């Protein structure tokens, strides 16, 4: 296990430029600037509820739309999470959280299994929240799961306000990851009968 569970990542393409720093064992401190105000808001919530320290500076071709920047933030955050957790010695591996957000109820379960999968049981009633295309939320979480190499299940039990539904997803994912990445002194080595993930 690494002494410091942190990661610094950069990604530059013809469409986006992202610099990200993550500390899994943080206090919920966020410094987020993404050029996509709705994603900035969601990532600040994610940071707070996961007790991470997260800094993101993201720029992209938002004059086209928010897709590339949203997707690439998911990619870089997933890569940073995987690197920060390291060899996964002593971590709980599994985590879940159910979050009520006014009329909405969302459950998220994660397994840091090294087998990426996104199970998405959600309908977003509105195509946009402000200027943000809500179809990008699925893209963000799929890339996060893929690059973190985690099994991520997102289930919306009920809800009618799209902002509330998405906010519940981000908060529940953060809380599930906080549990999954936490160190349990009872765990010797890797939490698997196979001895590796």
Distances, alpha carbon 183 to alpha carbons 27, 158, 168, in Å: 16, 33, 25
CA distance 127 to 121: 17
Residue-range domain boundaries for the chain: 6-181
In this structure, what are the phi and psi dihedrals at residue 106, rounded to the nearest 5 degrees? -130, 135
CA distance 7 to 162: 32
* pLDDT tens string 98-147: 999 999 999 999 999 999 999 999 999 999 999 999 999 999 999 999 99
Mean pLDDT, residues 56-69 taken together = 91
Q: How confident is the model at residue 62 (pLDDT cuts 50, 70, 90)?
A: confident
Residue 48 has pLDDT above 80, yes or no: yes
Residue 2 has pLDDT above 80, yes or no: no
* pLDDT tens string 133-170: 999 999 999 999 999 999 999 999 999 999 999 999 99
Select 6-181's CATH number: 3.30.230.40, 3.30.2350.10, 1.10.40.30, 3.40.50.1000.
3.30.230.40
* pLDDT tens string 178-196: 999 999 999 988 887 776 6
- pLDDT, position 64: 81
Q: How confident is the model at residue 1 (pLDDT cuts 50, 70, 90)?
A: very low
């Amino acid at each position: 296990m690494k002494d410091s569970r942190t990661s610094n990542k950069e990604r530059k393409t013809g469409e986006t430029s992202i610099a990200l720093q993550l500390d899994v064992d943080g206090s919920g401190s966020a410094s987020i600037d993404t050029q996509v105000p709705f994603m900035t808001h969601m990532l600040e919530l994610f940071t707070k509820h996961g007790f991470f320290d997260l800094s993101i500076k993201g720029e992209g071709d938002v004059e086209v739309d928010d897709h590339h920047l949203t997707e690439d933030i998911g990619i870089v955050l997933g890569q940073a999470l995987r690197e920060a957790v390291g060899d996964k010695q002593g971590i709980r591996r599994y985590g879940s959280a159910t979050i009520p957000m006014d009329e909405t109820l969302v459950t998220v379960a994660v397994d840091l299994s090294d087998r990426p999968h996104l199970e998405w049981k959600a309908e977003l009633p509105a195509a946009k929240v402000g200027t943000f295309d809500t179809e990008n939320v699925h893209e963000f979480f799929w890339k996060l799961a893929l690059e973190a190499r985690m099994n991520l299940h997102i289930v919306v039990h009920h809800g009618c306000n799209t902002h509330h539904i998405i906010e519940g997803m981000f908060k529940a994912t953060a809380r599930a990851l906080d549990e999954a990445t936490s160190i349990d002194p009872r765990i010797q080595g890797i939490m698997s009968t196979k001895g590796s993930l």
